[in-house]
Amino acid sequence: MNINATMLGQIISFAIFVWFCLKFVWPPLIAAMEERKTKIADGLDAADRAMRDLELAQNKATDQLKEAKQEAAVIIDEAKKRASQIVDESKDKAREEGERLITAAQAEIEQEANRAREELRGKVATLAIAGAEKILERSVDDAANRDLVDQLAAQL
Amino acid sequence: MASDTITAEEYISHHLTNLTFGQRHDGSWGLAHSAQEAADMGFMAVNVDTFGFSLLLGVLFMFVFRLVAKSPTTGVPGSLQNFVEMVVEFVDDNVKGMFHHKNNMIAPMGLTIFVWVLLMNIMDLVPIDFLPEAGKLVGIHFLKVVPSTDVNITMGMALSIFVLVIYYSIKQKGIGGFAAELSLHPFGKWGLPVNLFLEVVNLLAKPISLGLRLFGNMYAGEMIFILIALLPFWAQWALSVPWAIFHILIIVLQAFIFMVLTIVYMAMAHDDH
């Protein structure tokens, strides 16, 4: 156990190791640890924020749902109203159409009746002539009498 | 283990002798072959064994920590980085708790001291004859494997810290302030000689107590291991196991105390009264 130059060697190596640690070991480790610390703090912050955002979003969603329901009720009401309106309109239209058809049918009937009357008129003339012919037989001048009968028929 | 051919006294002194390199009596340089020869080499000699192990452990420490520090991940750390960061954070917490000035050197120095001294102390747990017997096989006569049982090693570090204490005292307070601190406390300017005496003793006691405390603890622990090794081989475990377990506490505690006292001394050097 002698005091000797080992002590000097130890002093020098101590200085070198402290310098090395100061330059190459301590700063990167501390920097990494600090960075991780801020990372974790940021992460926790973000989690908090996300939690709050989630709550807000949930509230918003509930509000929107309620609003949508109200809107839907309004739309359904309107639709019902519109439907009954359409039904009423259709009924009116149908009634009008019916009336129109009836009028048209009546007009046609009248037309038919007129035509039948005309025809009848023509036929009556012929019939009357035929009757007169039968009655008068041979003595009658067909042409002179026809004028007379036509005049008669026109008066019908 | 005491073999039949050597006495207990020879065994003990063999274990307490360093492998010393220096100038022999005949003028040639080489390893000393006896404790007496090593002592005669005077100051210009080196304890190859303790200094070698000290360097080896320091390089090992720097290698492992640099390995992590080269590419530290800021995400989830691996187990080695986790361990290194745990040690760094432990030292950093201690420094922040005790040292409140601006000095970037204190924390890395605390880390170096803590881990290096711890590694040196841990060599005490290697079975006492393990490495010396292995050394004998390759022709090394003496081998002290625990660097902190060498007073040169512990005092070397303590003196480095003493130099730093004086350097920072003068840097922070100026030569006048440092001189005032040494001479005007605790009795005011009329008690100057007494003050100077007390303060200088106080100042000198710092490195001496720092170095000798570590040396004394580790030397005593080593001594007890040596004495236990003198028992018959079947009885050794009954004492060496409890002592080794207890010694784990001392190993960590002494490394921690060395670091804490260094930080405290540096803080005192920075404090301006």
- pLDDT at residue B2 is higher than 60: no
- pLDDT at residue B66 is higher than 90: yes
Count residue pairs from A and B with Cβ separation < 8 A: 122
Task: Find, among A15, A43, A39, the residue nearest to B72 by Cα.
Answer: A39
Which of A48-52, B209-213, B216-220, B230-234 is least confident?
B230-234
**Mean pLDDT of the region B141-149:** 90
Catalytic annotation on B13?
A: no
Spatial separation of the C-alpha atoms in residues A133 and A146, rounded to whole Å: 10
Mutate: best of B47, B49, B159, partner A, most A CBs <10 A: B47
Q: Give the pLDDT confidence of A53-110 residue by residue, as tens digits.
A: 999 999 999 999 999 999 999 999 999 999 999 999 999 999 999 999 999 999 999 9
pLDDT confidence bin for A140, thresholds 50/70/90: low
Mention every residue, 6+ apart, whose C-beta is less than 8 A from residue B251. B118, B121, B122, B124, B125
Among B residues 2-21, those touching chain A with beta carbons less than 8 Å apart:
16, 18, 20
ipTM of the complex: 0.91
Catalytic annotation on B82?
A: no
Phi, psi of B21, rounded to the nearest 5 degrees: -110, 125
Burial of A28 (0-12, 13-18, 19+ CB in 10 A): middle
C-alpha to C-alpha distances, B256 to A114, B64, B110, B121, B259, nearest whole angstrom = 135, 20, 9, 11, 5
Catalytic annotation on B104?
A: no
- pLDDT at residue B139 is higher than 90: no
Task: Find, among B273, B249, B253, B250, the residue nearest to B261 by Cα.
Answer: B253
- pLDDT at residue B273 is higher than 70: no
Contacts of A18 in chain B (CB under 8 A): 105, 108-109, 112
Q: Give the pLDDT confidence of B35-58 residue by residue, as tens digits.
A: 888 888 888 889 999 999 999 999
Rounded to a whole number, what is the distance in angstroms from the first to the last CA of chain A? Answer: 170
Phi, psi of B43, rounded to the nearest 5 degrees: -75, -35
Report the 10 Å Cβ neighbour count for B198. Answer: 16
Q: Give the pLDDT confidence of B74-128 residue by residue, as tens digits.
A: 888 899 999 999 999 999 999 999 999 999 999 999 999 999 999 999 999 998 8
Which tokens go with A5? 């130059």
